[in-house]
Amino acid sequence: MGKRPDHWGWGFQKGRPTRQQVADLGRLAGERLGFEPAEVEDGVPLDAVELPPPRITAPDDLAEIVTDDTVERAGHTYGKAYRDIVRAFRGRYDNPPDLVARPRDEADVERVLAWAGDKHVAVIPYGGGTSVVGGVEARLDDGYAGAVSLDLRALDRVLEVDEVSGAARIQAGVLGPALEDQLRQYDLTLRHFPQSFEFSTLGGWVATRAGGHFATLYTHIDDLVESVRALTPSGWWESRRLPGSGAGPSPDRMLIGSEGILGVITEAWVRVRPRPTYRASATVHFDSFEKGAEAVRVIAQSGLHPSNCRLLDEAEGRLTGVSERPMLVLGFESADHPVDVWMERALEICGRKPTSSGSGAGGDWRSAFLAMPYLRDNLIQLGLVNDTFETAITWDKLGDLREAVRAAVPHATCRFTHVYPDGPAPYFTIVEPARRGFELEQWDELKARASDAVLAAGGTITHHHAVGRDHRPWYDRQRPEAFAQALRAAKTALDPGWILNPGTLISR
């Protein structure tokens, strides 16, 4: 098994910094944010945690792949939402899964689903466990005999590569780095790098409509999927590999974003590409966020399709320590042709000289970006509430959205993670002193204020963090009621017992 994943934080136990390092970070964060850092607190160690006893036992034919081990159950209790990490940190495990199953192949998945359907056991598909919206937590209505977390990480192989078409058939449980390692042998890459990349899986990306590396064009996993294979309680769902089709509503688009409620995704054909060999990067500073946003809008509508086009406001720049002014990180990449002409035109649109350019520009921000999930653990130790929320909005409503969010959560920092011709995906970060011991209440209240503001301003409750259980109140207001009826009926047809990830996305 190698390194053991940390039971409450991001990454592995052995990578966790010392108390002294955390205290040093506290001083730095305090300076940047204007807080007095509180004393460093340690999480409750796992051997001090007691879980409620399992309510179910696995049948003999599943014994080899199912366990009720405490460490496994605790490790599968939560995703990585702020409220998840705080609860694990404080040793609070109210809803652990009763069992954890690790199928070795599709036949194992079939066996687990058959048994669970028979015994009315809830099945929670589990990939990397990086959900930040309560997508893997066994909060169940009455009536279920128990819950099994279905950990798919043993399905971790690239099974087939079609180098001519640029596509690969890949098992759903593979983590980002292992997926890229296997594709590297063919000089190919999926180039889908969500922030969770290190610890999240292909199946998780498909189930949650993950947003990837690219700031424009095909960046949601939706666009990278050529076909999907999933097991529903009523049988297999497998679409044909096609570059495009007009044959009825897209079956794939119904599974993509279904968050485990329709079926367990076991494989997908995805579109891969050669690694980029031509690159251009630049950072540009603006006097105001509004001016930066206007330049980004014109770039997004220009047809230049930058691979990177991330605009940070001054607060985000300060938080990550990369800039005191609004800053745009621009990038182009290609495996086919030099991209300088593209970059020149994008800079011309910005109407100003780049602050830095060349392949290393924006590197500071990239490092900060990847360190953020780790950093969050330490901020919790330091008594700071910290979390992110994100949305997408049409350009005409951006100003009002920003104002509404500022009114609801005054010190939220903002950046654009993705931009479309018709609007950006703004991403907000909050760091504020915690009321220790009352972090959950504080967070719930903060989350509700932010979400209400986003919904009222016309945004989506999530652009790429999914719905899970935590976004339900707002998702339920956002989605068309007739679509909810359709989805509910579809689920009931495929999963009559509602055993698959109940409580996520929709209720009976």
Site for a copy of itself in 323-342 (CB under 8 A): 334-337, 341
Closest CA to 221 of 248, 201, 240: 201
Binding mask 32-61 for a copy of itself (x = CB under 8 A): ------------------------------
Which of 113, 461, 499, 500: binder of a copy of itself (CB under 8 A)? 461
Token pair for 241: 């590999």
- Measured CA distances, 119 to 264, 294, 448, 499 (Å): 18, 57, 36, 10
Site for a copy of itself in 133-162 (CB under 8 A): 162
Specify the residue, 405 or 506, whose C-beta has the smaller distance to a copy of itself: 506
Return the biggest CA–CA distance within the chain. Answer: 69
Site for a copy of itself in 487-506 (CB under 8 A): 487-490, 492-494, 505-506
Closest CA to 150 of 99, 198, 115: 99
482 sits near a copy of itself (criterion: CB under 8 A): yes
DSSP 197-255: GGG-BHHHHHHHT-B-S-SSSS-BHHHHEEEEEEEETTEEEE----S---SSS-HHHHH
* In the complex, minimum distance from the CB of residue 44 to a copy of itself, in angstroms, rounded to a whole number: 33
* In the complex, minimum distance from the CB of residue 80 to a copy of itself, in angstroms, rounded to a whole number: 16
Q: Which stretch binds a copy of itself (CB under 8 A): 47-55, 136-144, 183-191, 466-474?
A: 466-474
253 sits near a copy of itself (criterion: CB under 8 A): yes
Token pair for 452: 């209400």
* In the complex, minimum distance from the CB of residue 313 to a copy of itself, in angstroms, rounded to a whole number: 19
418 sits near a copy of itself (criterion: CB under 8 A): yes
Binding mask 373-412 for a copy of itself (x = CB under 8 A): -------------------xxxxx----------------
**What letters, b where the CB count within 10 A reaches 16 and e where it falls short, cover 311-343?**
bbbbbbbbbbebbebbbbbbbbbeeeeebeebb
192 sits near a copy of itself (criterion: CB under 8 A): no
3-state class of 159 per DSSP? Answer: strand
Which of 1, 48, 107, 164: binder of a copy of itself (CB under 8 A)? 164
Specify the residue, 391 or 442, whose C-beta has the smaller distance to a copy of itself: 391
* In the complex, minimum distance from the CB of residue 488 to a copy of itself, in angstroms, rounded to a whole number: 7
- Measured CA distances, 182 to 188, 198, 334 (Å): 9, 15, 21
Residue 327, Cα to own-chain centre: how many angstroms?
A: 24
Asked if residue 413 lies in contact with residue 313, where contact means CB atoms within 8 angstroms, the answer is: yes
Which of 119, 120, 157, 305: binder of a copy of itself (CB under 8 A)? 305
Asked if residue 135 lies in contact with residue 469, where contact means CB atoms within 8 angstroms, the answer is: yes
Binding mask 275-304 for a copy of itself (x = CB under 8 A): ----------------------x---xxxx
Q: Which stretch binds a copy of itself (CB under 8 A): 172-180, 226-234, 361-369, 402-410?
A: 226-234
- In one-letter notation, the amino acid at residue 392 is A
Token pair for 141: 């209505």
Site for a copy of itself in 198-217 (CB under 8 A): 208-211, 217
424 sits near a copy of itself (criterion: CB under 8 A): yes
248 sits near a copy of itself (criterion: CB under 8 A): yes
